[in-house]
Amino acid sequence: MNAMPAVSVIGGSGYAAAELVKILSQYGLVELKHVYSHSKTGSIRKLQQSLKKDLKLTDKNPAEVFQESDVVFLATPMETSLELVPKALDAGCKVIDLSPAFRLPDENAFFEAHGFEHPYPELLGESAYGLTELNKPAIAKSKLVANAGCYATSVILAAAPLAGKASKLIADCKSGSSGAGANPQHINAHHSEIHGNVVAYKLLTHNHSFEISAKTGCEVYFVPHVIPISRGISSTVYFELAEQLEAEEIAKAYGKFFGGEPFVQTLSEVPKIPAVLGTNDCKIGGFAVKKNIAVCVSCIDNLIKGAAGQAVQNMNVMLGFSEAQGLERQGLFL
Ligand SMILES: NC(=O)c1ccc[n+]([C@@H]2O[C@H](COP(=O)([O-])OP(=O)(O)OC[C@H]3O[C@@H](n4cnc5c(N)ncnc54)[C@H](OP(=O)(O)O)[C@@H]3O)[C@@H](O)[C@H]2O)c1
């Protein structure tokens, strides 16, 4: 590896890529070598005004980009990741894939979630699940990290401290419209459908159900909703407890579980979406219990902790950098 690792981003005009470029262009310890777009050329600031200094999309093709990179982020649709991940690995890159292509543990789980055979089932066994807080040793050793899904990140983190104490969970999740990416195809993603509305979709069938179930071991009932904000996720998660626990006891256990983590904060209050916007934080709070049902609320920024920020957090672990390198910032008050 070069003295300063060369890092590239594929999917250059997409939303997650925009956040990756923003973080990596100010990062310091890596060189942002190439940003590749299959549909656009020229200035990146034309696509993303927030950049202080303009950058140019590369005119190299993905194979050339892989040859000149130590680390590659694929911020692409699943089908594109399925095609490009093996090529990037063959070229010797460490790969962080933001799509659902390599997140599930085996080909059966993949088929159940996506309805088609995985073309590289052997790579499912080699990929490390990229929910950083819960899988650091495997991420540190792996050449392929499957960045965790956005809803899945908020729910799995909310469930982790109760591992072994709850066998069933219900996740009622609300997301901003950027969850559908820069070119949404579904009618539910249109402003006129979402504005002044709450739209439930893929009831109990969203592919993150399989991801949540695989990583928590719980029976999962997950319903995502789109709400009229552009970014942020708030997940209300209900757990059926196997033993009687008090809310204070649960809150204390969460505080202890995440005590050393730079990006998970537990609160007694219900967390607010603005407080995590633009940050890599997950805030979990509002703990309550009635009979055998416990509930808490978990908030993230879908484009940062749910995508680009967690991807950089995973890169930090893979490269042996401080986990928070390039990612420290605070959210909004309102
Ligand atoms: N949005 C979220 O909140 C979120 C959260 C977690 C994970 N993810 C996952 O992260 C990935 C990127 O999401 P996103 O929201 O950034 O999506 P997006 O805005 O639609 O960006 C994806 C980009 O991939 C590139 N692309 C599309 N089709 C391609 C093709 N056939 N060949 C090569 N490149 C192609 C396009 O960029 P160019 O035209 O510039 O090549 C496109 O803009 C997806 O797999 C998504 O599921 C998204």
Question: Does 99 sit in the ligand 1 pocket, CB within 6 Å?
Answer: yes
Catalytic (active site) residue 150: yes
Stretch among 49-53, 74-78, 126-130, 266-270 having the lowest mean pLDDT: 49-53
Question: Does 182 sit in the ligand 1 pocket, CB within 6 Å?
Answer: yes
Residue 160 reports pLDDT greater than 60: yes
**Distance, CA 183 to ligand 1 centroid (Å)?**
8
Name the residue with the closest Cα to ligand 1, atom 1: 179
Q: Which atom of ligand 1 approaches the CA of 307 most closely?
A: 6
Selected from 3.40.50.720, 3.40.50.300, 3.30.360.10, 3.40.50.150, the CATH number assigned to the domain covering 151-302 reads 3.30.360.10
Alpha helix locations (H) across 165-291? Answer: 191-194, 208-216, 247-257
Question: Does 98 sit in the ligand 1 pocket, CB within 6 Å?
Answer: yes
Distance CA 18, CA 244 (A): 45
Question: Could you report the per-residue pLDDT of 312-332, keeping only the tens digit for each?
Answer: 999 999 999 999 999 999 999
Picking from 317, 307, 279, the residue whose alpha carbon sits closest to that of residue 71 is 317
User: pLDDT at position 316, please?
Assistant: 98
Question: Does 48 sit in the ligand 1 pocket, CB within 6 Å?
Answer: no
The model's pTM: 0.97
Give the domain ranges of the chain: 6-148+305-319, 151-302
Distance CA 297, CA 273 (A): 11
User: pLDDT at position 57, please?
Assistant: 98
| DSSP character at residue 131 | -
Q: Which atom of ligand 1 approaches the CA of 182 most closely?
A: 19
* Across 265-277, average pLDDT: 98
User: pLDDT at position 185, please?
Assistant: 83
**Distance, CA 93 to ligand 1 centroid (Å)?**
20
* Across 264-293, average pLDDT: 98
Q: Which class would CATH give 6-148+305-319?
A: alpha beta
Distance CA 212, CA 235 (A): 13
- Burial (CB count within 10 angstroms: exposed 0-12, middle 13-18, buried 19+), residue 7: buried
User: pLDDT at position 37, please?
Assistant: 98
* Across 280-293, average pLDDT: 98
pLDDT-based confidence at 186, cuts 50/70/90? confident
User: pLDDT at position 182, please?
Assistant: 94
Question: Could you report the per-residue pLDDT of 106-141, keeping only the tens digit for each?
Answer: 999 999 999 999 999 999 999 999 999 999 999 999
Residues whose CB falls within 8 Å of the CB of residue 112, separated by 6 or more in sequence, listed in order? 210
Question: Could you report the per-residue pLDDT of 47-58, keeping only the tens digit for each?
Answer: 999 999 999 999
Residue 1 reports pLDDT greater than 70: no
Residue 2 reports pLDDT greater than 60: no
User: pLDDT at position 187, please?
Assistant: 80
Choose, from 93, 150, 173, 218, the residue flagged as catalytic: 150
* Across 80-108, average pLDDT: 98
